[in-house]
Chains A and B, each alone.
Chain A
Amino acid sequence: MKEKMTRREFMKLCFKSAVLVGMMNLVPFQFGFTTAEKEKIFIKTKPFKRSDIYRKHDLAG
């Protein structure tokens, strides 16, 4: 195992890291993993109870 990196090896490592970081940044946008279309919009429903509409609430308006 080498104890010291040559300048060339160090530059190579920097280049590889930069490419990797760049790819990590690009991937999510490229595949759009947060879009509504992909995550399938699903609104959770709750059963309607008449008592709910008379419950005390602190919503403004």
Chain B
Amino acid sequence: MKVVCSLCPKECIIEDGERGSCRMRVNLNGKLTAITYGYPCSIHVDPIEKKPLFHFHPGSSILSLATAGCNLHCKNCQNWEISQANPEDVPAYKLSPREIVDLAAQENCRMVAYTYTDPAAFYEYAFDTSAIARAQGMKNVMVTAGYSSREPLKKLYGLIDAAQTDLKFFDDAMYRKITTGTLQPVLDGLVLAKEMKVWLEVSHLIIPTLNDDFSMIRKLCLWHRDNLGKETPMHFLRFYPQYLLKNIPETPADTLRAARDIAREVGIQFVYIGNLWGEGEDTFCPDDNALLIKRSGYTILENNLQNGKCPKCRRDIAGVWSSI
């Protein structure tokens, strides 16, 4: 019997014994089975800044995990060794959701991140782990490409405290060509996160010749300002040749700086540059330009915020700043 997987907008029709585009959801005798449930292939304790989340409990450690497989097949995927593999080909740990939460507690992590591949694909495992983590008073973070169907995403966001969403292109044709996804569901998911009061930060990897057109970046920034709000942080990330796009050179630093300038000009208040060490990582007050947080890589060098306010003008700075 065929089954239709409604987890992501691809809506794979899966024959008996076959699997969906994500490689991890298999039709076994007419039943859709998430075969990586309880089998994370990567678990690490990371700084929250690595996600990147700059306005969510800065300086905290977060237990981060992924299972093999992904519902997108981005030609530039940095984690392609696990995201584009069959789960059978990647050795994995056997850890139940309860064991994950216990492990986080044991390592003094008060947060769990579903990251590296896409929690939109290892959905059930992320969902069950999130529920247990929340019951224990922990926070849940989702790092995602945002290519999910609305209903399952809404259900998962009910348990998620912060999301880092990668808005890969602001052009549907490019989305289809490079990622095998489409643009609109990602935009809808971003708006949904905002509506559901999930703390949101957006990243945009700038790939030379594919999405470094400044008029397109301006359109993206305008959409971001109008739909997500000017206080939602945006991270422009530097591309390095990866996976199937090794023919494209790394993003010039000036392109990233120009993109940041466009975003600021449009009115986005917190704009960062990622993967360009030593630049574009600090947080400034949008009103008086006072240095609020000084970072170097994933390390916080200075945190001048006082109860989430600028120490000079006392303005509230958007974010979740309390220690955890």
* Chain B residue, CB-CB nearest to A43: B39
Contacts A36-B26, A37-B28: A61 and B92 contacting too (C-beta < 8 A)?
no
Query: Contact between B92 and A55 (Cβ–Cβ < 8 Å)?
Result: no
User: Residue B93 at the A interface, CB < 8 A?
Assistant: yes
User: Number of residues in A with C-beta < 8 Å to the partner?
Assistant: 22
Chain B contacts for A47, CB-based, 8 A: 93
Query: Contact between B93 and A36 (Cβ–Cβ < 8 Å)?
Result: no
User: Number of residues in B with C-beta < 8 Å to the partner?
Assistant: 37
CB proximity of A61 to chain B, nearest CB, Å: 4
User: Residue B42 at the A interface, CB < 8 A?
Assistant: yes
Task: List residues of chain B with CB under 8 Å of any chain A CB.
Answer: 15-19, 26, 28-29, 35-36, 39, 42-45, 50-51, 63-64, 66, 78-79, 82, 87-88, 90-95, 103, 107, 115-116, 143, 164
Chain B contacts for A41, CB-based, 8 A: 26, 28, 35, 87-88
Chain B contacts for A32, CB-based, 8 A: 17
Chain A contacts for B50, CB-based, 8 A: 61
Chain A contacts for B92, CB-based, 8 A: 43-46
* Chain B residue, CB-CB nearest to A46: B91
Query: Contact between B45 and A59 (Cβ–Cβ < 8 Å)?
Result: no
Query: Contact between B18 and A35 (Cβ–Cβ < 8 Å)?
Result: yes
Q: Map CB proximity to B onto A5-28 as digits: 1 under 8 Å, 0 otherwise.
A: 000000000000000000000000
C-alpha spacing A58/B151, complex, angstroms:
33
C-alpha spacing A36/B34, complex, angstroms:
13
CB proximity of B275 to chain A, nearest CB, Å: 9
Chain B contacts for A55, CB-based, 8 A: 44
Interchain residue pairs A-B with the least CB separation, the first 5: A37-B17, A35-B17, A60-B78, A46-B91, A61-B115
Q: What are 29 A-B interface contacts by the 8 Å CB criterion? A: A35-B15, A35-B18, A36-B17, A36-B19, A36-B26, A36-B28, A36-B35, A37-B16, A41-B88, A43-B35, A43-B36, A43-B87, A44-B91, A45-B93, A45-B94, A46-B93, A47-B93, A48-B43, A48-B93, A48-B94, A57-B42, A57-B44, A59-B66, A59-B82, A59-B116, A60-B116, A61-B79, A61-B143, A61-B164
